[in-house]
């Protein structure tokens, strides 16, 4: 029985507004819809399909594991989870890993750890500081921490003892700190908030403030991690080591998996029975994530990220100069944003829709920024083709408004 976009309207909860087209097949950085039309993928499922569609190493890992074990529950451990934990701790600051299914779950675990850490240290040490315009997930706890009213309106009352400061505003962070703070959670690059990088020195100063007030520094690397910014994790390029790191999205290359990484001392805060996840650390997800990280850790792939970064930035800047829709490009690695000029602010969705009509999938980061998060192994030819189609879309949009 065939399904259409109308099927969505008839049978699914209306909390999403998907495009009219329905993709059915993908290969590398291209995918095809029900009509057989081809699209260049510069979105990567919002920085998720880190190795593109149907990558052979991921297909092999999933197929092999699917013929062995699917699920056991955490009453048992399993070999893929143990191998993945060892891989993560070998290549990061962390000593311990908690596996889950998504970025929201990873952040939920990090925030619960921070609250428990604070409460064990001193009565009333449970306040969390986060940044305005950040994004940490869609659970009630994490959406409250995110500091974007559009995601919390109508869900009140919100969890208490969470304060927000402007991103990159060090004096505001310093003023908000105090002995009752248990954690400061921050994205090294705000993704949903407009692909906004941390200012030079901001993360280092935040780490010093956390040490001064005995608060945990939590890096949300759900979007910046797993090779997205040109290294395994962005903290390694920033030169600041957090107490807790959360990761998901590209970790599974499209298979749902997330993780919270921390030190041995802090991991002891979550003793037996204090937290859990039914599917967290399942063999299927861990086997695929191990294959993803093995690829990401290769020098060749990270070199491709650096090369395609330069190519994409140059191409976007050229389009910006040609059409006058945006000026400059910001971000790191293959997480890039093109902020729209004043006359086009609020119209990022319109531009993204036009791009899709012309065969290239791009993202938005709020109403004023086009966001690009293609596969880390995207080819030069695919970048060129995507930029060409984006240019055609820009010309069409300007023609429609001329």
Choosing from 184, 219, 243, 249, the catalytic residue is 249
- Residue 121 zone, left/alpha/beta (φ > 0; ψ -120 to 50; rest): alpha
The residues that bridge with 262 in the sheet, in sequence order, are 96, 244
Cβ-contact 113, 148 below 8 angstroms = no
Q: Give, as one character, the DSSP assignment of residue 341.
A: P
DSSP state of 201: T
Reply yes or no on whether 249 is catalytic: yes
Containing 332, the helix (H) or strand (E) segment is strand 330-332
C-alpha to C-alpha distance for 188 and 86, rounded to whole angstroms: 24
The residue to which tokens 């402007």 are assigned: 166
Give the CA count within 13 Å in the CB-facing half-sphere of 139: 15
The one catalytic residue among 220, 243, 368, 382: 220
* CA angle (92 as vertex; 89, 97 as ends), nearest 5: 40
Contact 155, 143 (CB under 8 A): yes
| Residue owning tokens 């908690």 | 98
Angle, CA of 101, 376 and 353, to the nearest 5°: 85
Q: Which of 135, 141, 184, 255 is catalytic?
A: 135
Give SS3 for 38.
Answer: strand
What 3-state DSSP class applies to 249?
A: helix
Residues 6+ positions from 137 with CB-CB distance below 8 Å: 102, 103, 104, 105, 107, 108, 143, 146, 222
Q: What is the dihedral of CA 38, 42, 45, 50, to 10 degrees?
A: 110
Whether 141 sits among the annotated catalytic residues: the reply is: no
8 is catalytic: no
Catalytic positions are 135, 220, 249
């Amino acid at each position: 029985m065939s399904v259409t976009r109308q099927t969505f309207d008839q049978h699914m909860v209306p909390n999403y507004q998907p495009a009219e087209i329905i993709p059915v097949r993908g290969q590398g950085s291209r995918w095809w819809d029900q009509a057989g039309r081809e699209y260049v993928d510069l979105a990567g499922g919002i920085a998720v399909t880190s190795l593109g569609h149907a990558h052979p190493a991921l297909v092999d890992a999933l197929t092999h594991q699917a013929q062995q074990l699917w699920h056991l529950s955490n009453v048992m451990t399993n070999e893929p989870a143990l191998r993945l934990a060892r891989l993560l701790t070998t290549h990061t600051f962390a000593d311990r890993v908690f596996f889950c299914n998504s970025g929201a779950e990873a952040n939920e675990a990090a925030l619960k750890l921070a609250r428990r850490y604070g409460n064990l240290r001193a009565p009333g040490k449970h306040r969390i500081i986060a940044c305005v315009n950040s994004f940490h997930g869609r659970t009630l706890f994490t959406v409250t921490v995110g500091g974007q009213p559009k995601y919390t309106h109508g869900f009140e009352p919100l969890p208490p003892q969470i304060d927000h400061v402007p991103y990159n505003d060090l004096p505001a962070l310093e003023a908000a700190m105090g002995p009752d703070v248990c954690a400061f959670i921050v994205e090294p690059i705000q993704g949903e908030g407009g692909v906004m990088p941390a200012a030079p020195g901001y993360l280092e100063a935040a780490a010093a403030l956390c040490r001064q007030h005995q608060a945990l520094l939590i890096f949300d690397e759900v979007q910046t991690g797993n090779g997205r910014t040109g290294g395994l994790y962005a903290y390694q390029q920033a030169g600041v080591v957090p107490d807790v790191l959360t990761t998901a999205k590209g970790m599974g290359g499209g298979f749902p998996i997330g993780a919270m990484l921390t030190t041995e001392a802090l991991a002891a805060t979550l003793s037996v029975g204090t937290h859990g996840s039914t599917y967290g650390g399942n063999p299927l997800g861990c086997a695929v994530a191990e294959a993803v990280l093995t690829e990401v850790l290769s020098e060749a792939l990270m070199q491709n990220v650096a090369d395609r970064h330069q190519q994409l930035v140059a191409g976007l800047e050229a389009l910006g100069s040609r059409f006058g829709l945006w000026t400059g490009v910001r971000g790191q690695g293959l997480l890039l944003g093109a902020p729209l000029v004043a006359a086009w602010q609020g119209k990022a969705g319109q531009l993204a829709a036009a791009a899709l009509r012309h065969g290239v999938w791009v993202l938005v980061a709020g109403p004023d920024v086009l966001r690009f998060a293609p596969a880390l192994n995207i080819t030069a030819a695919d970048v060129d083709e995507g930029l060409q189609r984006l240019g055609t879309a820009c010309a069409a949009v300007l023609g429609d408004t001329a």
